[in-house]
Structure 1
Amino acid sequence: MWIAMMALSASLIFMMEMVGNRAVMPAAFFYGAAAGPAALLLAIHDRTRIGDSVPGTTLVGMFLFGGGVALLLGGYFDALLISEKDNPTILRVGWIEEAAKFVPLLAVALTGAHLTKPAGVALGLSCATGFAIMESMSYAWKSIRHDSAVEAGMVLFMRGLTTPFSHLAWTGLVCAVAFGVWQTRRRVVLTSAVTAAFAAAAVLHSLNDGLLILDLPGGVKLFFPVVAAVSYWLFHRATRDLEKATLSETAPSSA
């Protein structure tokens, strides 16, 4: 899926450069921005089947409106609390955006609906996907130079490689821990485990952005793949029990 969507995005950009038809630019940016998140969602569902735990309309709603609300809140507080992109205040972005993505999820949890770990992870990934796609598209638009979208295509390619190990992993980690606790307690409650998971996601998010944006020595920037690997490892570890549950449900019964 990732290869097919990135190839379609690149083909649309190539066609734009060849014939000058800019009408397809939004589609080119959407396919490029969605490639990484969509491929990861497919892989996670194939491993855990969490997409079956929530009605499809609810997942679509969280993708469209949860992601949009998160972008609204994150964009507002980013502008309010971050001075300049090359300033150390960029390290606040993880705390801001992880909180913004969690607001729509918390709103659903407080209703008492879908208060299970599989449902929470599915909803969290849907919200993070909506946020990540729209954020990637905004970066692509900023990268347009002299009516050329080639640089924007490169931005989308790089974000397609990294986004699955960032926004989706961070929000998925927080939801796996939080909804796991809430499923056991049968209510929304703040515990040390939930707080630790959120803090870990926020710190990893801030480190990710700091390594990408701040003017740091070249050797320090090599830690970016380490942050991505740790982010996904923590998410995968937090959702291993969902995979085991799926295997036990699909295993044939002995006669």
Structure 2
Amino acid sequence: MKQPSLFIPHGGGPCFFMDPSDGDRLHSDPMWHPMQAYLTGLMSDLPERPKAMLIVSAHWEEPSFTVHGGSQPSLLFDYSGFPPHTYALRWDAPGDPALAGRVVSLLSDAGFPVGQETDRGWDHGVFIPMKVALPDAGIPVMQLSLRRDLDPAAHIAAGRALAGLRDEGVLIIGSGMSFHNMRVRGPEGTDRAVEWDDALNSAVTDPDPQRRAARVSAWDQLPEARFAHPREEHLLPLMVALGAGADDPARLDHRSTVLGWTVSAYRFG
């Protein structure tokens, strides 16, 4: 069955695997629980178990779109300052070299230069949310990088080039955060974060697919855009998910508040 495409929040570091005994009040706070509950139910809300997953994480950028084609990647613990047990987490999902080859072909056919590599591990934008959503790690995964220029139109176009994979049972996931300004924590930014999130929701869920893409591509013209994203790498996975959603309806899939930020997830199809 045809799979949707998703944009999901991946939390803060290993937040879903922290507890108060770790001595880190910020990342063990119950405020993360609604987001964790959303991720826990992610697979049960799909039409069927995906045959494979293609994940675009905010934590991998390359000069051109780059495909991870490894067969059994390790984990890349690309966070720092957390308790030792968070560097011993396991999530042993296999890679999918065949899917990687399909992605390379589809992006190349769409006119994109495409890189390939096999050695990089799954970064925490992949393994942290997916360890919550798929603890058995039983579905093959392929990761696609962002393009370092962070051009929203190019990322939407790349998603459109990959949209047909959904008909083959591939779940396409953009993993980021709809709000990501690490200089803002606490209630002083809440009203501005809500204003941004309301504007983003309006653009992402626009019922006209062409207008939706145009509005989201021009995200930096929305109210409080640069307050929400001083640098937009955590928003760009949304562009790929939106492009992969093609002309299918879009919906707000989750909304919660962490660190004083309003954070949203979206589903296309």
TM-score, normalisation: structure 2: 0.24
Task: Between the two structures, name the one with larger relative contact order (CA 8 Å, sep ≥ 6).
Answer: 2
Structure with greater strand share of residues: 2
Structure with greater helix share of residues: 1
Higher gyration radius (CA): 1
